[in-house]
Amino acid sequence: MEQKKLGLIGKNISYSFSKNYFENKFKKLFLTNHTYDIFDLNDIGDVDQVFNDAHLYGLNVTIPFKEKIIPYLDELSDEAEKIGAVNTVLIKDNIKKGFNTDAFGFEKTLLLHKKDHHRSSLILGNGGAAKAIQYILEKHGIPYQTVTRKGDLNFENLSEEIVRENPLIIQCTPVGTFPNVKDCLEFPFAGLTSGHLIIDLIYNPEYTTFIKKSAENGAKTVNGFYMLEQQAEKAWEIWNVQKK
């Protein structure tokens, strides 16, 4: 039986959810010839070595390589091209094609929790994950402002008033991820209300300091776990439906 390899590339990713998730899936489906490896890369240039494995047929991509992986691929899906970030790679007939399933996972999460009054939003961060969020907000006609460290709107000049005016807030930075669970963005939490929906894309820990402080100020909070599951299922579908 031919060996089939999947894996995850990123940096400092020993905490990753993906390995356990997919190894459990292999067990449930009795796929004894499947493996899932963690490729912790210092530099995106090292991905060429990963691609050299003839048994590899798919990868997940995480921080900080969702944008940097693109020049190493042969093709992009329409969505990945529009978003400008890739979190899933399919290798078929020696063609490496990039997809973005973060968008799918976030859209599922958003539609599950969004209310009619969530008509304007703030995106905290501007990395690869934030690009997928922008794409989905645009798709659903929800205007957004992006808060970054060095942008016109940044974590130093973000006011309570701006927070109050934007009832949907999506936290896309890695700040507060395990093991640095006490870290938290500078943020005017006092601007939050019971009408706010906070989606923090982090899933480890389950409740970040950012989520805890948001909840203390009355906001409804959602972590990144459901999004993560949904994007993983979409990746599995891409690897196994498009592979055929």
Among positive and negative, which fits the CA dihedral 198, 200, 206, 210? negative
- Starting at the earlier edge strand, list the strands of the sheet with 121-124: 144-147, 121-124, 168-171, 197-200, 220-222
Is there a contact between 130 and 175 (Cβ–Cβ < 8 Å)? no
Pairing of strands 95-99, 75-76: parallel
In 3D space, the residue among 202, 204, 174 whose CA is nearest the CA of residue 15 turns out to be 204
Sheet architecture: strand order including 75-76 = 34-40, 4-10, 56-61, 88-92, 95-99, 75-76
Number of H helices, E strands in the chain: 8, 11
User: What phi and psi, each to the nearest 5 degrees, are found at residue 124?
Assistant: -95, 110
Q: Which is catalytic among the residues 4, 19, 66, 68?
A: 66
Check the CA dihedral 197-216-208-150 and report its sign. positive
Residue 66 is a catalytic residue: yes
- Residues marked as catalytic: 66
